[in-house]
Amino acid sequence: MRSRLLWFTVLPMLLASEMASAQYPVLDEVAGRVIQKYQGSSCEQLWEERAQKQGRPKPPREQQALQLLRDDPQMRAMFINRVAAPVANKMFECGMIP
């Protein structure tokens, strides 16, 4: 009974994930890059990059991506759901968040 309940809970989530991938193919690529950047960087590298970026304007391509996420709440939610855990874990490990 328990496995059946789990299956009916997990299956819709997997299907929604696959639909999101089909609906926003670029989202998978960008999210993958963000995750790879955080997982592949040392804490020192992340701290240096953070210090360099403070006060600087974002590159045009990054501004466009952010605008897309602001304009499309569904895409934004999928992106955040995909990258939040890996990025937050790395930031926690590096002392970037409490």
Look at the pTM and tell me if it is higher than 0.85: no
Average pLDDT over residues 32-42: 95
Residue 24: helix, strand or coil by DSSP?
coil
Confidence of residue 22 (pLDDT cuts 50, 70, 90): low
- The pLDDT mean for the chain works out to 82
State yes or no: pLDDT of 78 exceeds 90: yes
Q: Are 26 and 65 in contact (CB under 8 A)?
A: no
Residues 6+ apart with CB under 8 A from 91: 38, 46, 97
Provide the pLDDT for residue 24: 82
- The helix/strand count (H/E) of the chain reads as 5, 0
Average pLDDT over residues 81-95: 96
Residue type, 71: D
Confidence of residue 21 (pLDDT cuts 50, 70, 90): low
